[in-house]
Amino acid sequence: MTYRFIVKGKVQGVWYRRFVSENAKKAGFKGYVRNLPDMSVEAVANIENEERLKEFIEILKKGSPYSEVKDISIEEINDIQFDDFEIRY
């Protein structure tokens, strides 16, 4: 399954995407993270089950030391297969 997350708060200009990308890769997730024009961040990932979904949400919640996550919205989207986890610009 593929999920799309919108993360709001202090998440741009604070190494948030890099943190998410590195930790998602370490945990074996595939997808991407990118900044959005409204100062939020979008993450899209392939997630196999409920346990992995919780694990990915924890990565998004934790964020980088300078970030401050205020809200995360989640939606299941049409399945997209990724080969790796990357930062998109």
Catalytic residues: 17, 35
Neighbours of 7 (CB within 10 A): 25
**Helix axis angle, 16-26 relative to 50-62, nearest 10°?**
150
Q: What is the DSSP letter of 39?
A: S
Helices (H), the chain: 16-26, 50-62
